Each structure stands twice: as C-alpha cells, then as structure tokens.
Amino acid sequence: MPTPSMEDYLERIYKLIEEKGYARVSDIAEALEVHPSSVTKMVQKLDKKEYLVYEKYRGLVLTTKGKKVGKRLVYRHELLEDFLDLIGVDHTYIYNDVEGIEHHLSWDAIDRIGDVVQYFQENRDRVDTLKEIQKNNA
C-alpha cells in the first residue's frame, strides 16, 4: 500500500492526466504546492514501486497498477466531498476536511460512507428530513 504522501501524488497525477492528458513535474509541483525537486524524488519512489514509469526529461506514465490506485483515490476524495456536502458541512471547509480525514479511514469505512451517500441520493426527501433535523438542533 502507498503511504499517505504517495497517495496524494498518485491522486494528483491521475487527475492531471485525466484533465490534460499528461502530468509534468512542474504541473504536479504547482498542484501540490511543493518544490519540483520534491516531486522528482517522489516520482522516482513511485517508479520503484511500479505505480508509474518515469524517464528523466521525458515525463511519466501511470502503470495499470498506478491507474487503478489513482482512480480509487480520486473516487475516495470525491465521495468524501459528496458526503460532507450532503450532511451540510460549509463548502469553505469541505476540501480541507477531506484532506484531513481521507488517509485515516479504512476502505471499509469508505464503502459504508458510499452506502450512506447512495441512501440519501436515491431519495432527496431523506436529505430534506436531515436538513430539518439540523435546523431543529441549531
């Protein structure tokens, strides 16, 4: 399993490739707000762990393993954002809250959160009921 730091890089690389068709060291550094030298070191580690193939000055390509993990990490992030939005967390906090919790939840917990999100999305009246409860508790 990748470390939380590796997960952040894989998630960002996957998203960049999905959005732009490629991910350069400079793009990754900008997106993660780190120095390019830090990106290069991590990319080399991810290459050794076979999540991607990195060639100096040529770029990088996710392996099948890297794509699979990257896609799952993006799913986890988006699911947690949906969940926090659904339960009424202020939008200004959602991104940072997700960044703070996503590495600390088991995949079982993520799957259960997915069930809760699905439960509410299948019937919007449930969301209205939740909002009413929140209003009464405020």
Query: Distance (Å, rounded) from C-alpha 113 to C-alpha 87?
Result: 11
Report the length, in residues, of the chain. Answer: 138
Contact at 8 Å (CB) between 34 and 13? no
Structural domains of the chain in order of their starting residue, each with its CATH number: 4-68 (1.10.10.10), 74-137 (1.10.60.10)
Q: How many CB atoms lie within 10 A of CB 34?
A: 16
Which residue positions form the known binding site? 8, 11, 77, 99, 102-103
pLDDT digits (tens, 9 = 90+) for 63-114: 999 999 999 999 999 999 999 999 999 999 999 999 999 999 999 999 999 9
Residue ranges for the known binding site for Mn(2+) are 8, 11, 77, 99, 102-103
Residue 57 has pLDDT above 90, yes or no: no
Q: What is the helix (H) or strand (E) element at residue 47, kind and residue range?
A: helix 36-48
Q: What integer pLDDT is reported at residue 56 of this predicted model?
A: 81
Average pLDDT over residues 2-17: 95
What local confidence, expressed as pLDDT, does residue 113 receive? Answer: 97
Buried b vs exposed e over 66-88: b needs ≥16 C-beta within 10 Å? bbebbbbbbebbebbbbbbebee
Which residue is associated with the tokens 């993990």?
A: 69
Pairwise CA distance, residues 103 & 107, whole Å: 10
Give the closest residue to 61 by CA, choosing from 41, 71, 47, 49.
Answer: 47
